[in-house]
Chain A
Amino acid sequence: MLATNLKVLAVTLLVVALYTLVARSIPQLESAVPEDIALGAGVTPQQLADAGERVYTGAGGCVACHGLGQRAPNLLTDHAGEGAIGARCADRVAGQTCKAYLYASLTEPGAFVVDGFDNIMPDMRRQLPIDQVWAVVAYLQSQGGEITVTGSDIPEAEAAAAAPAAAAPARSATSDPRQLLTENACLGCHVIDGAGPPIGPSFDGMGTRIGADRIRRGIIDPDADVADGFGQFAGMMPKTFGDQLSAAQLEIMVQFLAGRR
């Protein structure tokens, strides 16, 4: 009986040891807690970038998606032949500096979804203190570009956090509907001229399916009427276009889409 007991014990210990060994032999990743990185007005760009790297690879959880190439664009290596993020950020949105673009991408990510990816990123101000958001901006700039974030950005950002609308990128003055669609990243989810990801209803033939009122409501309050077949993507479209567009721009966009038959 003792021999049986010992054999049972040995099998149990061997199995437990095997699983422990497997789990300990794979890459060990800890989900860190956002650390307090006190970044005052006197911080240097390099200190900001160093702190940003710690946040990026740690508590920010950025590497969960950026770097895989499937869920989100690679930021540290090349994406679509455009180089690392620091090299391409200034060209992402016309008229927007690299710094403004990166900050806006972190705080209003839904407005800047890159073609081919889903709108899954949260507003990082919910995850990180504002100085750490700026540190990440500096780190991303350092990936192939010049760090232009300074300590003086941080107090400004704190004020902006208190009044988020004030931090929004400057409103474009264009009245070209296609440019409006591009600037507001609509084409990241909607098909036009047969091209683009079908995450939202196609703009092609939209005027034959719904009227101008419904289109207007869909832009201002996207979840009010979710189109048939797109229920799984409900909630993804930003609800900020009512603030981002002027009344005239909104109407230009509505009439443009209603006219697509």
Chain B
Amino acid sequence: MMLDLLGLVQSAADTASSAYRSFPGIGARGAVWIAAQVHLMFAAFVLGVPMFAVITELIGIVAKDSKYDKLSKEFTRLLVFAYSATALWGAVLVFLLTTLYPQFWTHMTGVFGVSMWIYVGMFFLESFTLYLYYYGWDRWNAGRAKWGHWGLGLLLNAWGTAVMFIANGWLTYMMSPPEGVTPLGLPPALTTWNAIANATWMPINIHRLIANAVFGGSIVAAYAGYRFLAARTDEERAHYDWMGYVGNFIAISTFIVLPFAGYWLGREIYEYNQQMGVTMMGGFMSWLWIVQAVLIGVLFLAANYYLWIGMQRIPGAERFAPYTKWMLVVLVIGWLVWSTPHTMIASREELTAMGGSHHPLLGVLGVMSAKNTAVNIMILTTFLSFLMYRRANKRPTVPWAGIGTVVQAVMFALSAVVVLGFGVYGYFVEAIVRIGFSVYQVGAVLACIFGVTIIDIAMGRGAESRGEIRWGQMPERSQYALFVLAVTFTWLMGLMGFARSGIRQHWHVWEVLRDNSPQAATPALGFAATMISACVLIFLGLVAFIFWLGGLAERTMAKPDAAGGA
């Protein structure tokens, strides 16, 4: 067995081509795919978690509530362990690229060499800031020192964002290199900065910033879910119940904004190269968006389910219970519409069988008007769930509470009417006009979310409590919804990664450096799904190990205190 393995490795090393070398078993592409994807998942986690670690620490300082400070520190402890894994997978990726794709790597270093040195420098700064932030937590925990500590958290985010922006420059260059680039590198008129600040750089930066917060929130929520299930005391259970709620809230609330960043990215891709845009949305990747719709439908359902179950531990929430079944119906209908295929690649035989390029029944539901309407109604429904959750144990005391509630209801109704109205009207206008309708639909939903939230905050001032939230008194099944959310977000990240890099097709650098390796063809979704699932399982397996290590360290630290107390 060992000899066989060594033989495979030796044959891989012996591959003669100077441009490409092979990797035993899974091939060069598979090896780089896994390394890049798992590295990216860890990177998203270690960039997303500091965002809300800093926010929760600030809430703790301002509200003088040690609960938030404890939560923030717990987030950061996860970060310390995950950080090493991120760096390790980054190193694995670099070594695989240098050894398996040497010609491509030479091209990239030729274009980006200087930025790679800066990247490494930033990485050092980020690492040491993280260590200072975590290990200085208890030392700088009061007065001005605490604010200084919070400043370290801000700095950690700044370094992390800078590191991500630099790396994004490399990968977006592969998608949208500036005009004039040749396989030999940059022409004299272009600089490394031109290569970094390419057409898709900023949209990816913004998209990833938001996505990192979503991802970090969902992983933290799953961690809390696990700790809830493993908790031995009510206090512990209450803490992790609350932590899971906060993580999930961050994940879902930031997730609602993500499609707008994705829309901007898609538009920039189309503007850079229409063929690339068509490949992404309507070419061989067209079915990918149906799979994405399936996943996002699961996210909406799981998030709402978690909130609805959570309302069982809130006194006063029972008055909202009758509505949830109707909200479920709306969500399921929206999910079905969104997942309906429309303009798919079809063979002549399939076109003949359908009697045209679209299915006679489903074709009507699969159009953009119906899908935009479905997703906006799903967002509105989810927001309504959050609102009910938020108001469950409050009895407003402001004199205008009745009118305020009516105004909120009118805002919801108006928003839904605008979304549905433009959705129906979209069937009767040209495509170019219809595309513009999505802006009005999204605008109506955002205006509703914004307006209703403002009214709710004002209405909640001085509100009487109908009873304290019974943190910890959650059925166990609710925590499994958090796992479903985390696994789905992780899988979705892998799917979108495939979409982003797959649209380059057989180009390392789009229309500049061609992929001539044996695995240059972009694989079908089935193969991609297997690879994504492998990456997800590797990532989650390692995360579970890291969290276990964190728990081990926690118990080790707790023991001396216990001894001292005795």
Contact = CB atoms under 8 A, between A and B. Distances in A.
Contacts of A61: 275, 279, 283-284, 505
A31 B282 contact: no
Interface residues of A, number: 41
Contact of A12 (B483, B515, B528): B483
Interface in A46-94: 59, 61, 63-65, 67-71, 74, 76-77
Q: B352, B502, B526 — which one has the most chain A CB atoms within 10 A of its CB?
A: B526
A16 B537 contact: yes
Q: Is the interface of B mostly helix, strand, loop or mixed?
A: helix
B533 A68 contact: no
A76 B522 contact: no
Contacts of B483: 8, 11-12, 15
Contact of B357 (A1, A34, A67): A67
B484 interface: yes
B343 A70 contact: yes
B344 interface: yes
A77 B278 contact: no
B351 A64 contact: no
B231 to A, nearest CB: 10
Interface residues of B, number: 55
Nearest to B283: A64
B436 to A, nearest CB: 10
Contacts of B523: 30
A101 B57 CA distance: 68
Given A13-B537, A61-B283, 4 more contacts: A16-B533, A19-B291, A24-B525, A126-B511
A144 to B, nearest CB: 12
Q: Is the interface of A mostly helix, strand, loop or mixed?
A: loop
Given A33-B520, A34-B506, A70-B343, A28 B511 contact: no
Contact of A65 (B229, B282, B344, B524): B282
B287 interface: yes
Interface of A: 1, 4, 7-8, 11-13, 15-17, 19-20, 22-24, 26-34, 59, 61, 63-65, 67-71, 74, 76-77, 120-122, 126
A4 B229 CA distance: 7
Interface of B: 226, 229-230, 274-275, 278-279, 282-284, 286-287, 290-291, 294-295, 298, 343-346, 348, 351-352, 356-358, 431, 480, 483-484, 487-488, 491, 502, 505-506, 511, 515, 520-530, 532-533, 536-537, 540
A68 B431 CA distance: 15
Given A29-B345, A77-B348, A11 B525 contact: no
A12 B487 contact: yes
Contacts of A74: 351, 357
A59 B345 CA distance: 14
Given A20-B529, A31-B506, A68 B491 contact: no
B521 A26 contact: no
25 contacts: A11-B484, A15-B491, A16-B537, A19-B294, A19-B529, A22-B291, A22-B294, A23-B291, A23-B526, A23-B529, A26-B525, A28-B526, A28-B527, A29-B524, A31-B283, A31-B506, A31-B522, A32-B521, A59-B506, A61-B505, A67-B351, A70-B431, A71-B282, A120-B278, A122-B274
